[in-house]
Amino acid sequence: MIEINYTNTALLSESRWTLLSFWAPWCSACKAQIQMLNKIENELEEVTFATIDVNDNKYLAQNFGVSRVPDLLLLKDGAIFKHINTVISQDQLLNEIKKTIA
């Protein structure tokens, strides 16, 4: 998983598909979501997984319209393609991504 900050945002447009997770260190739901993403990352080779710590990157969160954590965005060629509900199971998330990128 790639950690994104203001110095490396260009990485978001290097992949056709990127799943971008917004999180904060104080957020227990965020930590659970990151664990879930780590588990499915290997199952989706065509998707780059990236994270943004909103505590350290408030500007980036604002640019993406993120006002709460955890939050997930699916990017296509660096642009927001889909906002994904973060209150779903691992299987639901995996199926949602596979269905979208197919």
Helix count (H) and strand count (E) of the chain?
Answer: 3, 5
Q: Measured between alpha carbons, how far is 31 from 24 in angstroms, rounded to an integer?
A: 8
65 within 8 A of 71, measured Cβ to Cβ: no
Structure tokens at 83: 């906002």
pLDDT in tens, 73-87: 999 999 999 999 787
Q: Are strands 2-3 and 79-84 parallel, antiparallel or unpaired?
A: unpaired
Q: What is the pLDDT of residues 7-20, one digit of tens each?
A: 999 999 999 999 99
Give bridge partners of residue 48 from the DSSP assignment: 18
Class of 2-101 in CATH: alpha beta
Q: What is the pLDDT of residues 35-84, one digit of tens each?
A: 999 999 999 999 999 999 999 999 999 999 999 999 999 999 999 999 99
> How much is the pLDDT for 47?
96
